[in-house]
Chain A
Amino acid sequence: MLNIEGLLVHFPYDYIYPEQYSYMLELKRTLDAKGHGVLEMPSGTGKTISLLSLIVAYQKVFPLEVSKLIYCSRTVPEIEKVVEELRKLMEYYSKQTGESNNFLALALSSRKNLCIHPELMHANIVVYSYHYLLDPKIADLVSKELTKKSVVVFDEAHNIDNVCIDSMSVNISRRTLDRCQTNVETLQNTIQKIKETDATKLKMEYRRLVEGLKEANVARETDVYLSNPVLPDEILQEAVPGTIRTAEHFVGFLKRFLEYLKSRLRVHHVVQESTPQFLKDIFDKVCIDRKPLRFCAERLRSLLRTLEIADIADFSAVTLISNFATLVSTYSQGFTIIIEPFEDRTPTIANPVLHFSCMDPSIAIKPVFQRFQSVIITSGTLSPLDIYPRILDFRPVTMASFTMTLARTCLCPLIVGRGNDQVALSSKFETREDFAVIRNYGSLLQEMSAIVPDGIVAFFTSYMYMENIVAAWYEQGILENIQRNKLIFIETPDAAETSMALEKYQEACENGRGAILLSVARGKVSEGIDFVHHFGRAVIMFGVPYVYTQSRILKARLEYLRDQFQIRENDFLTFDAMRHAAQCVGRVIRGKTDYGLMIFADKRYARADKRGKLPRWIQEHISDGSLNLTVDEAVQLSKHFLRQMAQPFRQEDQLGLSLLTLEQLESEEMLKKISQIAHQT
């Protein structure tokens, strides 16, 4: 039982990390202020249980202030972890209070066991994936009736802007249009059939549409629904336009729209235009107005319901097109349309794609911030903190970064900027093919493979880059030499293949043989797999993982960020690269008893603008002496570090420093120390 500024919190463990206490303090202040918060705390310091304990306690004490916790995480294992911690907390509660639990917690972890609203509405705690809240297509089905007095937590939120953007972006290829064509034909036939057998159904629908979407409007005004960004407020006050009200008219409308899109895909050069330009063009060419386009998604849904079509998945193509129609006619800003006749890499093969890209992550998340009284954005790596409120367009009441209190320095970040031959190491474009750099990278990995026990994970900036380096290393015989020390596994674009490689990698670490995993930043491994303990004793980041800057979509987004948010292109690119680098290296430290080397193999990491964007808990362990090392120097430091880490480490060593008992926590001196853990920005 902890006392957090007057709030009594049941905490199901005997000991607590100082930063957990500090974290709960900040969290409570955020809830008190009924505002949003951005909190960064290293993984492995018990973020999840801190969040759960405090918010559950808050709910119990102030049931009228906060009635629901919506906990969003990214991957299935993470969701399961949350559920596990929650179970522990609930058991602890019933043991402490002696009464059976009257708390309803609900976890949605797959579309297969998708649950229905009533249960969701009554649950005190909901745990599910981001998409259920951020993707308008699902949020509308699952989350729209959640109460305003909810606390929303986005855990592992370092990529939340990309999730937002993804959920609002659409790509249309020729294949999509072909499938859409079939969909429309099926619709037409079904309508024809129904007309012959059950015409009243269609008439009923027509009447409903004349009534308009009033129902939805009432619900929204009376605060029952989470607003759907796809369905703008204005629409709700109007009836569905007459041009698409009857089913046949609507199908005809869809056909026309489809033909138009087909014509747009018949281009020979790249086209980029804004949404107003697109709307003007569609009006000029096929006389489609903006208004019916806006109703397209809603109208299709109604039709599918009326036709009682069971398997909506078959109609994914036409759903996609109508979603696109609604989006493109709703937002005049924050989106761009790019039509590319072929892939850049293969200019000879025609593969036209229409990219409708969202450039503004705040559009998708705006309803969440507006609707719920407290939204907490948290992750192990959220630096620099101030950029998230800017790109997501919200005003947090608290922003804090917590360090990891350590009884022993269990992480060792090293920046390797030079090879033993003094060649500058960098993955920057100009030296990307440089033989000397590739060779030096190879010797870094080779030497590390000789001194690091068990597992080493290495990340490359992109898949292409990794492929080229692996091929070069193969030719130079470097991989053979590495094989003398460890087995080599490599990530491939195929997820199943990579899963197998991962499993074998772990097996090799487990049985003492040791292994190396070559992987890619921004890949699935870097985002979702933890390399606890011996599964990762060292991580090497080869180069700075900048996103591929030649993409037109990215360029458009950068321009938008500059114009709308005054974020300079380079600042954003560096921020983006560094958050991925931090994600990669953070994979090896998953707790205070864990230890690992973090090797940044690029001289650019030594610069303040890069280094300064690393999370505080990593940054503060980079000393001036480890800024521009050669491979040999890094090896020496690593050896020293590993020898130290191999010494016994016991609970007593941590107690009072990085692990506290209740009494220790309550001491005056400790509370003073704790107040320094949170780094406010």
Chain B
Amino acid sequence: MAALSEEVLLVVKKVRQRKQDGTLYLMAERIAWGPEGKDRFTVSHLYADTRCQKISPDGKAKIQLQLVLHTGESTTFHFSNDSSALKDRDAAKELLQQLLPKFKKKANKELEEKNRMLQEDPVLFQLYKDLVVSQVISADEFWANRLGDTNHADPSLSNNKQEVGISGAFLADIRPQTDGCNGLRYNLTADIIESIFRTYPTVKEKYCENVPHNLTEKEFWTRFFQSHYFHRDRINTGTQDIFSECAKQDEQGLKSMVVQGVKNPLVDLLSLEDKTLDEGYGVCTTLPSTSNSNRSVKESSNSAIIKRFNHHSAMVLAAGSRKGETPANQASETSNTDGNSRDSVFFQPPVKKPPLYAFKHYTTSQDIINSVNYIQHEMVNYKPNLTQVLSSTTASSAIAALSSGGVLMQAATQQAINQMVPSEVQGELKHLYAAAGELLRHFWSCFPVNTPFMEEKVTKMKSNLERFQMTKLCPFQEKIQRQYLSTNLTGHLEEMLQTAYSKFHIWQTRRMLRKT
């Protein structure tokens, strides 16, 4: 066995993989499978490499469990023990459910970071495709000094990613579908669950309390969707509903928010009127009594819906701004006064505005015009610092050299290529340059070679370069030859590679000499 010292957490026999019977092992850090009668694992995945597990739906003939790796590959295990297949599968599933998240965090973070870099940088993404996907260099090599680099260069950049708020309609996205036999199916995704938890912290509490000790995850969500809590228009059915407590807590939260009152006196309806009529005066003081006794069922369900919407919106709003809480800034009200009295905007009592996370305040057109004017004004007064500039002779000779017909413009290949070569070839050439540049960067960064590790790396890099030439550059050359384009296009690339090769040779010869 490969690693006997590892702790084996679960062994499941009679598990088929690729139509071969075998045994599944769940260990502390990896999952492995070995065919029957053999003494080694043919499949072995670290948990850290695993993105998720999927299981076949209940009622399917084959009881399977699929592991999806971060690379996108997947491995499917088929539990074939007639009597206990389902139990076996669920045991494996439960265990994985507990194990995977532990490794997920670490792996995810790195992976997310890489993903983000690729997504944000199309050039890098192309490089990745050219070098890694086409297997010129391995992914590890590719990332070896990239991740470190960027992390050092601008750690704030990656952390500064704006916290994403919650869609107001996330509950609407869980469209129930009828499953054909008098039931409803809700499609939950991790995002929606996250949204529910962020918006309704009480539900999260319940989840932590009950799952998996008292309820399975599925049961939990089933109850959630059946609850009065989810369907506010339903009248509370009983106290055994675990969410009735949530509703109570929400109500309390709402009440305490209401009791706290509002900070902005302009929206405080309670203090709006200076002198309200005393009790008993006025035309119609018979307000609809608020006691529940004389409200019909429909009316109280209606008002519950209204309460729910207010609460939901407030919670969504709070969930959005909770993270990005900035010190309360006195957001200046849109101050586009036009030099005249303005009944409404004019009066701005000292109000501490609630923290904002997206836009500090609106820039009005007047603001923009003002700032343009300001810049124009500044430009008029601009005085160049003349001691720091080139002398006029140097400058004019530089201009002459850069003008058409000048020394530096004679080759004028840039223009020629633009006109001579179809744009797709241009694009391809650009990618080749980028890829070659990247490889060469790796190569040259090995010098001076003073450790064994570097020696190994430089050798590998050289072979990478050769491989690049073989698999990428040569086909390209052939292609442009076929199209009767000037082969000169790749001349510079080849030159660069040759320089690298000769450097390598010099180094190798020297090393040989030193060794002998």
A interface residues, Cβ below 8 angstroms from B: 12-17, 20, 43-49, 74-77, 79-81, 84-85, 108-111, 128-129, 131-132, 135, 137-138, 162, 165-167, 169-173, 176, 316-317, 320, 343, 345-346, 349, 353, 355, 357-358, 463, 467-468, 470-471, 474-475, 477, 479-481, 483-490, 492-504, 506-508, 510-513, 515, 524-525, 528-530, 532-534, 551, 553, 590-594, 647-651, 654, 659
Across the interface, do B344 and A503 meet the contact criterion of CB distance under 8 Å?
no
Across the interface, do A84 and B303 meet the contact criterion of CB distance under 8 Å?
no
B278, B338, B347: the one within 8 Å of A651 (CB): B338
A507: which B residues are within 8 A, CB to CB?
317, 321, 354, 356
- B366 to chain A minimum Cβ distance, whole angstroms, is 6
- Contacts A14-B339, A490-B309, A513-B358: A80 and B331 contacting too (C-beta < 8 A)? no
Name 19 A/B residue pairs within 8 A (Cβ), A-sorted.
Answer: A14-B339, A20-B340, A44-B343, A46-B342, A80-B349, A132-B275, A320-B279, A467-B303, A475-B233, A483-B168, A494-B290, A497-B254, A501-B314, A503-B264, A504-B310, A507-B321, A529-B269, A591-B345, A654-B338
- With A and B bound together, what is the CA distance between A662 and B281 in angstroms? 50
B356: which A residues are within 8 A, CB to CB?
507, 510-511
Across the interface, do A171 and B281 meet the contact criterion of CB distance under 8 Å?
yes
Tell me if B167 counts as interface (CB < 8 A to partner A): yes
Across the interface, do B267 and A502 meet the contact criterion of CB distance under 8 Å?
yes
A349, A483, A508: the one within 8 Å of B169 (CB): A483
CB-nearest residue of chain B to A652: B369
B334: which A residues are within 8 A, CB to CB?
532-534
- With A and B bound together, what is the CA distance between A46 and B254 in angstroms? 39
- With A and B bound together, what is the CA distance between A528 and B268 in angstroms? 10
Across the interface, do A170 and B165 meet the contact criterion of CB distance under 8 Å?
no
- Contacts A132-B275, A487-B317: A506 and B264 contacting too (C-beta < 8 A)? yes
Beyond A129-B273, A166-B283, 9 additional contacts (C-beta under 8 Å) are: A45-B343, A85-B341, A138-B275, A172-B280, A474-B233, A502-B262, A507-B321, A534-B362, A553-B283
Tell me if B258 counts as interface (CB < 8 A to partner A): yes
B361: which A residues are within 8 A, CB to CB?
510
- Contacts A75-B272, A489-B313, A492-B303: A500 and B257 contacting too (C-beta < 8 A)? yes
Tell me if B385 counts as interface (CB < 8 A to partner A): no
Across the interface, do B288 and A345 meet the contact criterion of CB distance under 8 Å?
yes
Most chain A beta-carbon neighbours within 10 Å: one of B257, B258, B316: B258
A176: which B residues are within 8 A, CB to CB?
279-280
Tell me if B287 counts as interface (CB < 8 A to partner A): yes
Please provide the 5 A-B residue pairs with the shortest distance between their CB atoms, ordered closest to farther.
A480-B172, A590-B344, A648-B365, A483-B169, A129-B274
CB-nearest residue of chain B to A16: B340
A165, A474, A487: the one within 8 Å of B305 (CB): A474
B172, B301, B339: the one within 8 Å of A483 (CB): B172
- With A and B bound together, what is the CA distance between A484 and B172 in angstroms? 8
- Contacts A74-B273, A165-B283, A477-B172: A591 and B366 contacting too (C-beta < 8 A)? no
CB-nearest residue of chain B to A534: B362
Give the size category of B's interface with A.
35 or more
B55: which A residues are within 8 A, CB to CB?
none
- With A and B bound together, what is the CA distance between A320 and B285 in angstroms? 14
Tell me if B157 counts as interface (CB < 8 A to partner A): no
Across the interface, do A167 and B281 meet the contact criterion of CB distance under 8 Å?
yes
- With A and B bound together, what is the CA distance between A200 and B96 in angstroms? 95
- B85 to chain A minimum Cβ distance, whole angstroms, is 41
- With A and B bound together, what is the CA distance between A654 and B339 in angstroms? 11
The binding surface of chain B is classed by DSSP as loop
CB-nearest residue of chain B to A469: B302
Across the interface, do B340 and A13 meet the contact criterion of CB distance under 8 Å?
yes
- With A and B bound together, what is the CA distance between A65 and B11 in angstroms? 105
B262, B284, B316: the one within 8 Å of A500 (CB): B262
- Contacts A128-B274, A477-B172, A492-B306: A528 and B269 contacting too (C-beta < 8 A)? yes
B48-73 vs A, Cβ < 8 Å mask (1 yes, 0 no): 00000000000000000000000000
Tell me if B453 counts as interface (CB < 8 A to partner A): no
Tell me if B266 counts as interface (CB < 8 A to partner A): yes
- A260 to chain B minimum Cβ distance, whole angstroms, is 18
Across the interface, do A591 and B281 meet the contact criterion of CB distance under 8 Å?
no
Across the interface, do A504 and B281 meet the contact criterion of CB distance under 8 Å?
no
Tell me if B271 counts as interface (CB < 8 A to partner A): yes
A492: which B residues are within 8 A, CB to CB?
303, 306-307, 310
B368-406 vs A, Cβ < 8 Å mask (1 yes, 0 no): 110000000000000000000000000000000000000
- A533 to chain B minimum Cβ distance, whole angstroms, is 5
Across the interface, do B274 and A76 meet the contact criterion of CB distance under 8 Å?
yes
Across the interface, do A487 and B168 meet the contact criterion of CB distance under 8 Å?
yes
- Contacts A170-B281, A317-B280, A499-B270: A591 and B313 contacting too (C-beta < 8 A)? no
Tell me if B510 counts as interface (CB < 8 A to partner A): no
- Contacts A165-B283, A481-B169, A504-B314: A593 and B271 contacting too (C-beta < 8 A)? no
Tell me if B484 counts as interface (CB < 8 A to partner A): no
A490, A495, A506: the one within 8 Å of B310 (CB): A490
B interface residues, Cβ below 8 angstroms from A: 165, 167-169, 171-172, 233, 254, 257-259, 261-275, 277-290, 294, 298-299, 301-303, 305-307, 309-310, 313-314, 316-317, 320-321, 331, 333-334, 336, 338-347, 349, 353-354, 356-359, 361-362, 364-366, 368-369
- B54 to chain A minimum Cβ distance, whole angstroms, is 29
- With A and B bound together, what is the CA distance between A355 and B258 in angstroms? 33
- B475 to chain A minimum Cβ distance, whole angstroms, is 49
B168, B289, B299, B336: the one within 8 Å of A467 (CB): B299
Across the interface, do B267 and A512 meet the contact criterion of CB distance under 8 Å?
no
A20, A162, A513, A533: the one within 8 Å of B317 (CB): A513
A499: which B residues are within 8 A, CB to CB?
258, 261-262, 267-270
B362: which A residues are within 8 A, CB to CB?
533-534
- Contacts A316-B278, A499-B262: A524 and B339 contacting too (C-beta < 8 A)? no
CB-nearest residue of chain B to A172: B280
A110: which B residues are within 8 A, CB to CB?
274-275
A484: which B residues are within 8 A, CB to CB?
167-169, 172
- With A and B bound together, what is the CA distance between A75 and B314 in angstroms? 27
- Contacts A46-B340, A498-B269: A513 and B278 contacting too (C-beta < 8 A)? no
- Contacts A81-B347, A490-B306: A109 and B274 contacting too (C-beta < 8 A)? yes
CB-nearest residue of chain B to A506: B267
- Contacts A81-B347, A499-B261: A504 and B317 contacting too (C-beta < 8 A)? yes
Across the interface, do A508 and B317 meet the contact criterion of CB distance under 8 Å?
yes
Across the interface, do A515 and B288 meet the contact criterion of CB distance under 8 Å?
no
B342: which A residues are within 8 A, CB to CB?
44, 46, 590-591
- A529 to chain B minimum Cβ distance, whole angstroms, is 6
- B279 to chain A minimum Cβ distance, whole angstroms, is 7
B273: which A residues are within 8 A, CB to CB?
74-76, 129, 528
A15, A108, A171, A592: the one within 8 Å of B285 (CB): A171
Across the interface, do B344 and A488 meet the contact criterion of CB distance under 8 Å?
no
CB-nearest residue of chain A to B167: A484
- With A and B bound together, what is the CA distance between A479 and B168 in angstroms? 11
- With A and B bound together, what is the CA distance between A534 and B363 in angstroms? 11
B233: which A residues are within 8 A, CB to CB?
471, 474-475
CB-nearest residue of chain B to A551: B284
- A160 to chain B minimum Cβ distance, whole angstroms, is 14
CB-nearest residue of chain A to B279: A316
- B142 to chain A minimum Cβ distance, whole angstroms, is 38
Most chain A beta-carbon neighbours within 10 Å: one of B281, B349, B369: B281
A512: which B residues are within 8 A, CB to CB?
358-359
Across the interface, do B339 and A659 meet the contact criterion of CB distance under 8 Å?
yes
Across the interface, do B286 and A131 meet the contact criterion of CB distance under 8 Å?
no
Across the interface, do A343 and B305 meet the contact criterion of CB distance under 8 Å?
no
- A593 to chain B minimum Cβ distance, whole angstroms, is 5
- With A and B bound together, what is the CA distance between A138 and B303 in angstroms? 37
- A612 to chain B minimum Cβ distance, whole angstroms, is 26
A137: which B residues are within 8 A, CB to CB?
278, 281
- A55 to chain B minimum Cβ distance, whole angstroms, is 15
CB-nearest residue of chain A to B342: A591
- With A and B bound together, what is the CA distance between A447 and B254 in angstroms? 30
A495: which B residues are within 8 A, CB to CB?
269-270
